[in-house]
Amino acid sequence: MASSLYVTTTEAHTGKSLVCLGMLEMILRKTERVGIFRPIISSRPEQRDKNIHLLLEHFQLKQEYEDSYGFHRREARELILEGKYDQVLDRVIEKFKALEQTCDFVLCEGSDFTDENATLDFNINVDFAKNLGCPVLLLARGDHFSSVEDVLSPVQISYESFVENECEVVSVIINRTKPDFSHELLLGLQNRIPRKDIVLGVIPSNETLQSPTLEEIKDHLNAEVLYGGDHLNRQAYRYSVAATQLQHYLPYITDLCLVITPGDRGDIILSVLQAHQSKNYPDIAGILLTTKFKPEEAISRVLDGISDIIPILSIADNTYDTVAQISKINSYISPESDLKILLSKQLFEKYIDTSSLQEKVSNVKQRGMTPRMFQYNLVKRAKSQKQHIVLPEGSDERILRAAEILLEQNIVELTILGNVESIKNNISRLGLRIDDERITLIDPTNSPQAEKFAERFVELRKHKGANLDIARDTVVDVSYFGTMMVLEGLADGMVSGAAHTTQHTIRPALQLIKTKPNVSLVSSVFFMALPDRVLVYGDCAINPNPNAEELAEIAISSAQTSEAFGIEPKIAMLSYSSGASGQGEDVDRVRQATELVKERMTDLKIEGPIQYDAAVDKEVGIKKIPGSEVAGYATVLIFPDLNTGNNTYKAVQRETGAVAIGPILQGLRKPVNDLSRGCTVTDIVNTVVITAIQAQNIAE
C-alpha cells in the first residue's frame, strides 16, 4: 500500500498550494511514482481544478486528470442533500485506491472551504482522511487575526477534532502569518500541541505570493485589455487610486503598483507611463481605467506609438466599486508562475522541518537516485561552495529569467554580458526581481578589462599571428570576453549557446582555456534522468565520428564526470552487436576503444562492444554477456558516433519523459558549457548548476 498524506485546512485561503508544492518537492526526492488526489473539487466540469492542474503540470505527474478527483462540488452536494453521503464516500475511496495502486505516495488535498458550508467542509475532510487511512497535515492561516490567541484557538479545536475522530495528525502548520508575531505564534503552537512527534511550523506571509498578476485581475473584473496584452504576467503588489492633481499623486507611486483612475484622465495615464520610464520613479505594474471611459483619440495616438507598453485595462464600473472588487482577489499559483513556485518551495524548506516530516510520512519507498533527488543533490552541492558563473548572452530573455531563479535560490554569483542599459530595460520590462546588488552587468565594448584581455590574448595567440589590433576586436565579442574572464579567474565557469552556435561557444575555450593535461579532445555528456535512475550518455553533442582513440578518451572523461556527480561508472561501449559475435569496421572500432580504456584505466568497469538493451536490461544482459559486471547495470553509455548518440538521447527524452541535462562539456581545464539554441529556462538553470559543480571539482 502506498504512503499518503491528507492536507486539509481550518478555513479558506490558507495557501494549500504552497504546502502541496513543498511536500511533493520533498517526496519526489525519494520516489518518482507520486500521485495527487482531491476528493471534491470546486471547479465547474468544463474547467480544470487549478490546484490539480498546477501539481500535474509542474511536477509532470504521470496520471490522468480525471483520475485526480472524486467529485465536482455541485454533484457531491446534491447527493449529500439527498441523503446519499455513502455514495460520495464510496466513490472517493474507490478512485483513491485505484490511484494508490499505481503510486508509492499519494498526496491527498482536502476540499476548498466556502463561507456558507465551512462546518460541512471541515467535517467531510475529517471523514475522508479517516476513511482513506491518510495521516493528516493540518493547515491554518494567521494573517487576518488581531492576536496570537485568535489564531491558535481555532487551530487547537481543529486539531482536537481530528484526533477525536482517530485521525493521525503528523503536522500542524500556520501559513501566511504576520511577520511581527511569527515567532510568538510558533511558541504558542508548541504550548498548545506539546507532542514531540508532530511537526509544527509557522510560515510568514510573502508579498509576491499574495500579489495577483494583471491576468488574474483582468479575469476577476472581466476587464478589457486595451494595451500591453503580452505583459499580463506582471504582478501588482498594491493598488493606488489616482484622483488628485499630478504633483500630489506622483509621490505616492510605489513599486509595481496598479494605478486605478477614471478612463477620461488622459493626463494621469500619460504621466504614469512617463513615471514608469523614468529612473526616478518605481516600475508600474499596469493601469486600470474605470467608469467605462476610454482614452480619447489624441491620447490613444500617443499610446499606439509606445512600443512594449505596460498593460492598460478598462472596466465599466466606477472607481469605488472597482477598488472593492479588487480587494476580494485571491491570487493563485499557475504552472507558468515560475517565481511563485520557487518561492513556495523555498518558504516550505526554510520554515518546516522537512527531515522530520519525511520520517513521519512513513513507508515511502526508496527507488534509487530519482531525477528529483539527483537535481536536488545538484542544487544542494552547488550552494555548498558558491561559484561565479558568467553568462555572455544578456540579450536573451531566457537567460534573464534563468538568472532570476538562480539568484532567488542563491545558487551562484552571476555576471551577465551585453549592453547594460538594454539588459536593465529588459529586466524591468519582464518584471524580474533582479537588482543591481545581486548581479554584475558588463558591456565588453567599454569594459576597462578589455585592454588587459587583449594583451593576454596576444600573449596566448601570437604563435598564430595575433596582434593587438586583432586582439582588441576579438575580446569584445561576448564569447571571448566571457572565456577570458574564466581564464583569468574573474569567473569560475561560463554557460553560453542560447543565442550562439556550439562552435562560437567552444572555439574560444579551445584557443584560450585549452584541454586538461593528457586530454586531447573536448567531448560531452548528457545526464539522462529516468524515472528510477540517472544514466550518463556520451558523446551526443560534439564529436561526429570519433576514432578508437577518441572513443576511449570520451569513455574515460565520461567515467570521471559520472564519478564526480555521485554516479558509479559502469561503462557500456555501445554497438550493434554484443561481445565477440559481431564483425565489421564499426564494431571493431568500438572493440579497440574498449581495450584501450582497459589498458589505461584498469580499475574501471567496462564492457564493449555491447547493445543498448544488454547494457541496461538485467535479463537481456545475462543472456548476451553472462558474468559481466556491466551488462544490465550500465550507468555510462558511450555511443559510437554523434548521429547515434544525438538521436538516441532525443528519442529517450521524448518517448519516456526523461529529463535530459546537458550537454555538459568535459576535458577543459576550466568549465565552459554549451546550451542548445532551443533550450528552456530550466535547461539553463540546470546547466549553470552543473557548471558550478565542475568548477568546485577543479578548485579541489
The pTM of this model reads 0.66
Q: How far apart are CA 568 and CA 557, in angstroms?
A: 13
The grid coordinates listed for 80 are: 449529500
Q: How many CB atoms lie within 10 A of CB 445?
A: 12
* Residues paired with 106 in a beta bridge: 4, 35
- What does the pLDDT read at residue 2? 62
Whether 695 is in a domain gets the answer no
Model confidence at 362, pLDDT cuts 50, 70, 90, reads low
Please check whether residues 176 and 255 belong to one and the same domain: no
Whether 388 is in a domain gets the answer yes
- Full domain range(s) for residue 266: 212-326
SS3 content of the chain, % helix, strand, coil (to 5): 50, 20, 35
- What does the pLDDT read at residue 64? 93
Q: What b/e sequence results for 664-674 when a residue is b if at least 16 CB atoms lie within 10 Å of its CB, and e otherwise? A: bbbbbbbbbbb
Domain termination residue (choose one: 513, 541, 566): 513
Do strands 523-530 and 533-538 pair parallel, antiparallel, or not at all (unpaired)? antiparallel
Whether 301 is in a domain gets the answer yes
User: Cα dist. 206→24, 176, 188 in Å?
Assistant: 20, 7, 21
Q: Residue 272 phi/psi, 5° resolution?
A: -65, -40
Q: How many CB atoms lie within 10 A of CB 201?
A: 22
**pLDDT tens track for 463-472:** 877 788 888 8
Q: What is the dihedral of CA 328, 329, 332, 338, to 10 degrees?
A: -140
Q: How far apart are CA 62 and CA 41, in angstroms?
A: 20
**pLDDT tens track for 30-68:** 888 899 999 999 867 778 899 999 999 999 998 999 999
Whether 547 is in a domain gets the answer yes
C-alpha angle 681-684-687 in degrees, rounded to nearest 5: 150
* Residue 340 · residue 58 · CB < 8 Å: no
- What does the pLDDT read at residue 459? 85
pLDDT above 60 (res 642): yes
Of 316 and 370, the one with more pLDDT: 316
Q: How far apart are CA 41 and CA 92, in angstroms?
A: 12
- What does the pLDDT read at residue 367? 39
* Residue 582 · residue 537 · CB < 8 Å: no
pLDDT above 60 (res 375): yes
Please check whether residues 168 and 93 belong to one and the same domain: yes
**pLDDT tens track for 339-361:** 899 999 999 999 999 988 988 88
**pLDDT tens track for 197-213:** 899 999 999 888 888 99
The SS3 of residue 183 is helix
**DSSP summary character for residue 258:** E
The SS3 of residue 482 is helix
Do strands 605-610 and 570-574 pair parallel, antiparallel, or not at all (unpaired)? parallel
Classify 290 in phi/psi space as left (phi over 0), alpha (psi -120 to 50) or beta: beta
**pLDDT tens track for 558-568:** 999 998 888 88
- What does the pLDDT read at residue 115? 54
pLDDT above 80 (res 700): no
Mean pLDDT of 586-604: 90
At 570, the amino acid letter reads: K
pLDDT above 70 (res 145): yes
Mean model confidence pLDDT for the chain: 87
- What does the pLDDT read at residue 84? 87
Whether 377 is in a domain gets the answer yes
Among candidates 604, 607, 599, which has minimal Cα distance to 579? 607
Please check whether residues 82 and 200 belong to one and the same domain: yes
Mean pLDDT of 620-642: 89
Q: What is the 3-state secondary structure (H, E, C) of 395-411?
A: CCHHHHHHHHHHHHCCC
pLDDT above 50 (res 583): yes
Mean pLDDT of 494-502: 87
pLDDT above 90 (res 311): yes
Among candidates 257, 328, 320, 331, which has minimal Cα distance to 287? 257
Model confidence at 109, pLDDT cuts 50, 70, 90, reads very high
- What does the pLDDT read at residue 39? 93
Query: Burial, 62: exposed, middle or buried (Cβ in 10 Å; 0-12, 13-18, 19+)?
Result: middle
Tell me, what CATH number does 604's domain have? Answer: 3.40.50.10750
In the chain, pLDDT over 90 holds for what percent of residues? 35
Q: What b/e sequence results for 452-487 when a residue is b if at least 16 CB atoms lie within 10 Å of its CB, and e otherwise? A: ebbebbbebbeeeebeeeebbebbbbbbbbbbbbbb
- What does the pLDDT read at residue 225? 93
Model confidence at 586, pLDDT cuts 50, 70, 90, reads confident
Q: What is the dihedral of CA 626, 631, 633, 634, to 10 degrees?
A: 160
Number of domains within the chain: 4
* Residue 232 · residue 216 · CB < 8 Å: no
Mean pLDDT of 60-78: 90
Tell me, what CATH number does 53's domain have? Answer: 3.40.50.300
- What does the pLDDT read at residue 204? 93
* Residue 323 · residue 260 · CB < 8 Å: yes
Query: Picking from 114-128, 303-317, 561-575, 620-634, which range would have the lowest pLDDT averaged per residue?
Result: 114-128
The DSSP result for 359-423, as a single string, is HHS--PPP-SS-HHHHHHHHHHHHHHT--EEEE--TT-HHHHHHHHHHHHTT--EEEEES-HHHH
Whether 605 is in a domain gets the answer yes
Q: How far apart are CA 393 and CA 399, in angstroms?
A: 7
Please check whether residues 426 and 472 belong to one and the same domain: yes
Q: How far apart are CA 281 and CA 284, in angstroms?
A: 9
Residue with cell 535530459: 660
Q: What b/e sequence results for 6-20 when a residue is b if at least 16 CB atoms lie within 10 Å of its CB, and e otherwise? A: bbbbbbebbbbbbbb
Please check whether residues 115 and 20 belong to one and the same domain: yes
Tell me, what CATH number does 307's domain have? Answer: 3.40.1390.20
Please check whether residues 176 and 80 belong to one and the same domain: yes
Please check whether residues 533 and 652 belong to one and the same domain: yes
C-alpha angle 258-259-260 in degrees, rounded to nearest 5: 115
Among candidates 605, 117, 700, 123, which has minimal Cα distance to 385? 700
Please check whether residues 474 and 527 belong to one and the same domain: no
Going 80 to 156 to 173 to 103, the CA torsion angle's sign is negative
Please check whether residues 140 and 258 belong to one and the same domain: no
Whether 121 is in a domain gets the answer yes
Cα radius of gyration (the chain): 29
Tell me, what CATH number does 400's domain have? Answer: 3.40.50.10950
Whether 192 is in a domain gets the answer yes
Please check whether residues 398 and 473 belong to one and the same domain: yes
* Residue 626 · residue 618 · CB < 8 Å: no
Q: Which residues have C-beta within 8 Å of that of residue 493, sequence separation ≥ 6?
A: 387, 388, 389, 390, 486, 670, 671, 672, 673, 691, 692, 694, 695
Please check whether residues 123 and 148 belong to one and the same domain: yes
Query: Burial, 382: exposed, middle or buried (Cβ in 10 Å; 0-12, 13-18, 19+)?
Result: buried
Mean pLDDT of 690-694: 93
Please check whether residues 197 and 218 belong to one and the same domain: no
